[in-house]
Structure 1
């Protein structure tokens, strides 16, 4: 009986460890994606501001 309980606990802890590793990897990838989206937004904003300023100076 004790061996069955120990085996069950070990199997569950192995599954939990795999889940935690996958979550950490996903979090790192999402952090990278967030950084790239922020960089893209900053670049687009900068270009839109420059475009709108150049349009005003031509008038």
Structure 2
């Protein structure tokens, strides 16, 4: 169960990347694909930074 969020986030980034590729060849709107790609990478980075943080005593 510990690796499930990591796998879901990687899958979300792959889908966002595919949508971005479709936007580059004018099949999908770029105004939708760029924020989706940004949000997916941002959520992934926040998840990686927040896992084992020392929260004090």
Task: Report if TM-score (shorter chain) is over 0.5.
Answer: no
More helix by share: 1
Higher RCO by CA contacts (8 Å cutoff, separation 6 or greater): 2
Q: Which bracket does the TM-score occupy, shorter chain normalised?
A: 0.3 to 0.5
TM-score by length of 1: 0.41
Q: Which structure has the larger Rg?
A: 1
